């Protein structure tokens, strides 16, 4: 049960919402993912029931002996209700593939998480708040070492760690950061920046993974290649480029404040006003308004509003979360009114009196 | 929302401009945006793999059919791989070696892994040596980066491996 799992894991895998990492006003979260497979079993897409069971058994045995994971809880995705699966997905804790299949997930007391029987037998994942690539990598690497001492991984002397999809082979490493870049979007510099990113071996996508649209000015930037460079090189490269993008974004925001202060303040306060008072909002609208408010908080135009609150709104206004609070499935129109009410309530509690200047 | 230029297609590009402290937003369909010379900045790599695999299929056909075949371990055929983009097992990498190399070169710019070297639960002497070499590389990096905590941990790991214990 997710509720059991929510109770067992502090913040239920949402520790990164606290936004306590470096550059948390621009970089929401850092994620590292390692793909691993066991040598003598078919990979996820071609594995049969018995193979999957055996992979799970071996993995849990190894995980039980791994100090990093001993406090973990196992969640069997196939035993979850659809709404519970959706909750995990909305928290970015599991992949769409795992939700659709019969995989397992084992979150731990830290932000470390292990997915079993996804497209690859193992996906080790770590999500931290702010811009913390090296920290995120350190924990995943330790888990990988501990599991690797007990599990026979599929490893090729030339190609490295073997994966179901050839785009992941080699290191099996995908490092990504979730960035909020309204300054670059408003100054129309974003096209150039994204083009630059794809020219240096990185790639970008929207908030919800591959092929998803860009919503709320969020961009996920990650390494494109996984083979031929060391894990440290891949991470350092991403680190350097993201650091540069943070600087560009900061500059763009300063330019906006200098050249178009009225436009920006108006945009920020209108967004805040709508969120504070609207009676019905779609998720996409909330995301776009949040982007304006987030910019306002980053520019210190809106006092007394924390990034943590904005992050919470972003996760808890998704439909499965609203339904969990409501305790029942919500029709589309109902979801919109529940969403608006939730946002009003959270902002009211944080800000107290209505915004007046 | 319909395109503000042609009024026919769904608007896909939303262009926001600031001029003289005034912001305006233009909603255009892709065709109209393109005719105005606006780059849509499509996400890179939406489906690069599909293209690569399609390409790969062509070159395979041109070469010999004998190299293709079926993976003896999981039964995957090259046609299956072309359809799904996913390999079936570790053995597939050997079975389809000839065709995979070209693909890996296109995807990653090379075929030689230079990251972490895996040390199996029951390592041979060769496994140990390869692992030590990769750990030494990480060690010199850690020292360069003045990450002494990591350097010390790596040094201990190397010592344990050289003493014949698991790392």
Shortest distance, CA A219 to any CA of chain B (angstroms): 10
Angle between helices B97-108 and B48-62 (to 10 degrees): 140
Taking residue B36's Cβ as centre, other Cβ atoms within 10 Å add up to 12
Backbone φ and ψ for A279, nearest 5 degrees, come out as -105, -10
Average pLDDT, chain B: 78
Q: What's the pLDDT score for residue A327?
A: 87
Of residues A345 and B166, the one with the higher pLDDT is A345
Which pTM value belongs to this model? 0.80
* Structure confidence at residue A10 as a pLDDT band (50, 70, 90): very low
Contacts of residue B22 in chain A, CB cutoff 8 Å?
263
User: B91 in contact with A at a CB cutoff of 8 Å?
Assistant: no
Q: How far apart are CA B34 and CA A281, in angstroms?
A: 32
Query: What does DSSP assign to residue A329?
Result: -
Nearest CA in chain A to B49: A167
Shortest distance, CA A148 to any CA of chain B (angstroms): 7
Say whether pLDDT at A206 is over 90.
no
User: A345 in contact with B at a CB cutoff of 8 Å?
Assistant: no
Say whether pLDDT at B59 is over 80.
no
Q: How far apart are CA A50 and CA A72, in angstroms?
A: 24
Mutation to test the A interface, candidates B40, B43, B152, most A Cβ within 10 Å: B43
Q: Is A239 helix (H, G, I), strand (E, B) or coil?
A: helix
Cβ atoms of residues B142 and A235 within 8 Å: no
Say whether pLDDT at B48 is over 60.
no
The sign of the dihedral angle between the CA atoms of A310, A311, A315, A316 is negative
What b/e sequence results for B80-104 when a residue is b if at least 16 CB atoms lie within 10 Å of its CB, and e otherwise?
bbeeebbbbbbbbbebbeebbeebb
B107–A227 CB contact, under 8 Å: yes
Shortest distance, CA B159 to any CA of chain A (angstroms): 16
pLDDT digits (tens, 9 = 90+) for A12-41: 567 778 777 788 889 999 999 999 999 999
Distances, alpha carbon B83 to alpha carbons A185, B16, B80, in Å: 37, 40, 5
Mutation to test the A interface, candidates B116, B122, B129, B158, most A Cβ within 10 Å: B116
Of residues A262 and A87, the one with the higher pLDDT is A262
Among A45-49, A241-245, B138-142, top mean pLDDT goes to A241-245
B107–A225 CB contact, under 8 Å: yes
Q: Is A50 helix (H, G, I), strand (E, B) or coil?
A: helix
What average pLDDT does the segment A151-159 reach?
95
Shortest distance, CA A36 to any CA of chain B (angstroms): 11
User: A154 in contact with B at a CB cutoff of 8 Å?
Assistant: yes
* Structure confidence at residue A208 as a pLDDT band (50, 70, 90): low
What average pLDDT does the segment A334-342 reach?
95
Shortest distance, CA B8 to any CA of chain A (angstroms): 22
User: B17 in contact with A at a CB cutoff of 8 Å?
Assistant: yes
Residues in chain A, how many? 357
Say whether pLDDT at B62 is over 50.
no
A319 membership: H or E segment, kind and range: helix A319-326
Q: What's the pLDDT score for residue B17?
A: 60
Residue B94 C-beta-side C-alpha neighbours within 13 Å? 12
Backbone φ and ψ for A278, nearest 5 degrees, come out as -65, 150
Among A97-111, A210-224, B109-123, top mean pLDDT goes to B109-123
Query: CA A225, A33, B165: angle at the middle one, nearest 5?
Result: 100
Q: How far apart are CA A42 and CA B10, in angstroms?
A: 44
A148–B119 CB contact, under 8 Å: yes
User: B93 in contact with A at a CB cutoff of 8 Å?
Assistant: yes
């Amino acid at each position: 049960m997710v509720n059991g799992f929510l109770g067992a894991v502090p913040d239920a895998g949402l520790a990164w919402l606290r936004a306590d990492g470096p550059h948390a006003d621009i970089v929401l979260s850092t994620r590292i993912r390692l793909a691993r497979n066991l040598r003598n079993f078919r990979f996820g897409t071609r594995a049969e029931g018995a193979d999957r069971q055996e992979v799970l058994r071996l993995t849990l045995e190894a995980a039980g002996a791994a100090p990093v994971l001993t406090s973990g809880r196992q969640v069997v995705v196939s035993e979850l209700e659809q709404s519970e699966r959706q909750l995990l997905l909305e928290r970015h804790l599991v992949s769409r593939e795992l939700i659709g299949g019969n995989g397992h997930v084992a979150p731990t007391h830290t932000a470390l998480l292990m997915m079993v029987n996804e497209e690859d037998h193992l996906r080790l994942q770590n999500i931290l708040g702010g811009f913390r690539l090296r920290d995120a990598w350190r924990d995943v690497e330790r888990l990988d070492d501990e599991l690797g001492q007990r599990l026979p991984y599929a490893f090729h002397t030339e190609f490295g760690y073997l994966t179901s999809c050839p785009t992941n082979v080699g290191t099996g490493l995908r490092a990504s950061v979730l960035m909020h870049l309204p300054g670059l979007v408003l100054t129309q510099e974003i096209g150039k920046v994204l083009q630059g990113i794809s020219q240096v071996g990185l790639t970008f996508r929207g908030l919800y993974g591959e092929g998803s649209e860009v919503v709320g000015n969020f961009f996920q930037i990650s390494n494109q290649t996984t083979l031929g460079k060391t894990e440290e090189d891949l991470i350092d490269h991403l680190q350097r480029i993201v650091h540069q993008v943070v600087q560009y974004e900061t500059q763009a925001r300063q330019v906006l404040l200098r050249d178009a202060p009225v436009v920006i303040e108006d945009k920020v306060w209108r967004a805040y006003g709508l969120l504070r008072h609207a009676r019905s909002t779609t998720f996409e609208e909330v995301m776009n308004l949040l982007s304006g408010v987030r910019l306002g908080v980053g520019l210190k135009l809106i006092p007394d509003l924390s990034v943590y609150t904005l992050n919470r709104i972003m996760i808890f206004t998704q439909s499965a979360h609203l339904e969990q609070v409501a305790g029942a499935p919500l029709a589309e129109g109902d979801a919109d009114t529940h969403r608006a009410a939730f946002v009003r309530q959270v902002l009211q509690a944080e800000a107290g009196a209505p915004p007046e200047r | 929302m319909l395109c503000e230029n042609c009024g026919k297609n769904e608007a896909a590009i939303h262009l926001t401009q600031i001029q003289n402290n005034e912001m305006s937003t233009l909603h255009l369909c892709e065709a109209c945006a393109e005719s105005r010379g606006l780059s849509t900045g499509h996400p890179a790599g939406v489906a690069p793999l599909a293209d690569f695999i399609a390409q790969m299929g062509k070159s395979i056909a041109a070469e010999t059919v004998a190299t293709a075949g079926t993976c003896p371990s999981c039964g995957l055929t090259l046609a299956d791989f072309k359809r799904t983009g996913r390999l079936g097992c570790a053995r597939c990498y050997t079975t389809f070696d000839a065709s995979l190399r070209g693909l890996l070169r296109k995807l990653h710019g090379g075929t030689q892994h230079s990251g972490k070297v895996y040390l199996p639960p029951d390592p041979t002497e060769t496994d140990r040596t390869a692992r030590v070499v990769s750990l030494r590389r990480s060690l010199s990096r850690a020292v360069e980066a003045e990450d002494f905590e990591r350097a010390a941990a790596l040094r201990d790991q190397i010592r344990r491996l050289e003493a014949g214990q698991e790392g």
